[in-house]
């Protein structure tokens, strides 16, 4: 990797590790200080490396500088007297604790931080924002782009979340064994939404969207490496992410426009990620509990089967049937109806679609347009026009407009 690319890469991989360890030591009330120390470390790297060149081990250099900066802060700031000394159950002293940036402590700190920022005391949006900022090292600009909102909105959201975590005195530690299953659900939900933020985002920043997905997968993988959190639901979620990510490069063209599933170049699908998905789906089969992640992973698996056979769509249909009984959602109901059309024909699907009456949802009218195409093109065009009016995504509008033009040419 070239020198100009190395520092940004290290910032993405190491900033969050340093922040997690320091925040675990200082507590959430001093999260800003932990972030400042981490930022100052990279600023020092930028200045020093530009003059003296790259050190032999850049990551180790960063850890050493971060440790020294943290120790200096603890020596000279009241934090040591008021916080750390009390936690260590000893009188205030100039002696400072060791800053443990070992691989194991970094993993433990990030896992504990994951449970802390996914605490139910803060909103789901704030959980995702905090995860992106603290666990993934994303800048405010990137988070704003991911959420398609302003930097000011993100800053306010993160500020409220930090204040709430301080008020509730949320500790950065593993929950007790009895608490883990309930708390793990919130963590998985946040990681699931974080992945979807990248995979289904309407942002045209392809690299950012992919990075969101990869970060969600990295954090989920951390859960599988810890015995107390390596649950079937975790493996199922990582399987789902792997199957979805395997088709990432095929979902958009060179201009960033959406390529629909049936039009994707299957040679661009990542076989290694498909294999990874199958591996974790196998691990997820242990136990008797089936979660929505199991079912969605199964659906995603069948979407990696390239042949459009009746068996494929029948399996997808049955999995959607099960998913809807477990956790109903309008999007799942619409997807189930599309699978029904592929398994049993458009006429059967139209009857089911009409029962949904999701008239305020653009995807409902988009589905009707798809189902009526070739049966009644006038109704199909009218449905697609409604979808176009309700859609807010430029990418979706482009797809819908193209469908309308094709139907008009046919007519």
Q: Is the pLDDT of residue 331 over 80?
A: yes
The pLDDT value recorded for residue 252 is 86
* Res. 98 pLDDT band, cuts 50 70 90: confident
* Res. 3 pLDDT band, cuts 50 70 90: low
Spatial contact of 188 and 122, defined as CB atoms under 8 Å apart: no
Tell me the Cα Rg of the chain. Answer: 24
104: CB partners within 8 A, 6+ apart: none
d(CA 318, CA 116): 37
The pLDDT value recorded for residue 395 is 81
* Res. 393 pLDDT band, cuts 50 70 90: confident
Q: Is the pLDDT of residue 358 over 90?
A: yes
d(CA 318, CA 297): 13
% of the chain residues with pLDDT over 70 = 93
The pLDDT value recorded for residue 206 is 74
Model pLDDT for residues 196-251, shown as the tens digit of each residue: 988 887 666 777 788 889 999 999 999 999 999 999 999 999 999 999 999 999 99
Model pLDDT for residues 26-35, shown as the tens digit of each residue: 888 888 999 9
d(CA 52, CA 156): 39
Average pLDDT over the chain, rounded to an integer: 90
Q: Is the pLDDT of residue 73 over 80?
A: yes
Per-residue pLDDT averaged across 331-339, rounded? 96
Structure tokens of 179? 């608490």
Domain ranges in the chain are 1-101, 103-205, 307-352, 358-411
Q: Is the pLDDT of residue 332 over 90?
A: yes
State the CB neighbour count (10 A cutoff) for residue 335: 19
Positive or negative, the CA dihedral 323, 328, 332, 334 is positive
Q: Is the pLDDT of residue 44 over 60?
A: yes
pTM of the predicted structure, to 2 decimals: 0.88
Highest mean pLDDT, choosing among 82-91, 96-105, 355-364: 355-364
* Res. 171 pLDDT band, cuts 50 70 90: confident
Per-residue pLDDT averaged across 364-391, rounded? 96
* Res. 340 pLDDT band, cuts 50 70 90: very high
Among 78-92, 158-172, 200-214, the range scoring the smallest mean pLDDT is 78-92
Highest mean pLDDT, choosing among 134-138, 305-309, 381-385: 381-385
Q: How many CA atoms lie within 13 A of 8 on its CB side?
A: 6
H helix runs in 262-361, sequence order: 271-284, 292-303, 310-326, 330-344, 346-356
Among 12-16, 246-250, 265-269, the range scoring the smallest mean pLDDT is 12-16
Per-residue pLDDT averaged across 35-49, rounded? 94
Among 111-125, 204-218, 302-316, the range scoring the smallest mean pLDDT is 204-218
Per-residue pLDDT averaged across 145-149, rounded? 81
Per-residue pLDDT averaged across 311-315, rounded? 96
d(CA 228, CA 231): 8
Per-residue pLDDT averaged across 305-309, rounded? 91
The pLDDT value recorded for residue 66 is 95
State the CB neighbour count (10 A cutoff) for residue 172: 22
């Amino acid at each position: 990797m070239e020198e100009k690319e190395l520092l940004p890469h290290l910032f993405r991989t190491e900033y969050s590790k340093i922040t997690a360890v320091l925040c675990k030591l200082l507590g959430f009330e001093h999260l800003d200080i932990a972030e400042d120390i981490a930022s100052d470390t990279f600023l020092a790297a930028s200045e020093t490396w530009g003059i003296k060149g790259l050190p032999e081990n850049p990551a180790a250099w960063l850890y050493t500088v971060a440790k020294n900066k943290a120790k200096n802060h603890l020596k000279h700031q009241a934090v040591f007297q008021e916080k750390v000394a009390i936690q260590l159950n000893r009188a205030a002293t100039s002696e400072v604790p060791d800053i443990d940036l070992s691989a194991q402590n970094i993993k433990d700190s990030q896992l504990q931080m994951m449970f802390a920022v996914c605490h139910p005391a803060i909103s789901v949006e704030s959980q995702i924002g905090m995860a992106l900022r603290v666990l993934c090292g994303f800048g405010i600009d990137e988070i704003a782009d991911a959420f398609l909102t302003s930097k000011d909105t993100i800053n306010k959201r993160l500020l409220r979340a930090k204040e709430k975590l301080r008020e509730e005195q949320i500790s950065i530690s593993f929950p007790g064994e009895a608490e883990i299953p309930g708390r793990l659900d919130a963590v998985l939900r946040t990681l699931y939404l974080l992945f979807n933020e990248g995979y289904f985002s309407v942002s045209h920043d392809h690299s950012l969207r992919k990075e969101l997905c990869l970060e969600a997968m990295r954090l989920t993988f951390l859960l599988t490496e810890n015995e107390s959190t390596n649950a079937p639901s975790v493996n199922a979620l990582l399987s789902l992410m792997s199957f979805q990510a395997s088709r990432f490069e095929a979902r958009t063209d060179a201009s960033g426009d959406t390529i629909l599933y049936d039009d994707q170049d299957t040679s661009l699908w990542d076989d290694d990620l498909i294999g990874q998905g199958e591996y974790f789906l196998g691990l997820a089969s242990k136990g008797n509990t089936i979660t929505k992640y199991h079912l969605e992973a199964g659906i995603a698996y069948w979407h990696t089967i390239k042949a459009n056979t009746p068996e494929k769509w029948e399996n997808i249909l049955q999995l959607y049937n099960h998913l809807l009984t477990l956790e109903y959602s309008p999007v799942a109901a619409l997807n189930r109806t599309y699978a029904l059309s592929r398994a049993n024909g458009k006429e059967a699907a139209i009857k089911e679609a009409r029962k949904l009456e999701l008239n305020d949802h653009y995807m409902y009218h988009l589905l009707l347009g798809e189902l009526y195409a070739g049966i009644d093109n006038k109704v199909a065009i009218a449905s697609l026009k409604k979808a176009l009016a309700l859609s807010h995504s430029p990418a979706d509008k482009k797809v819908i407009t193209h469908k309308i033009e094709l139907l008009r040419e046919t007519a």
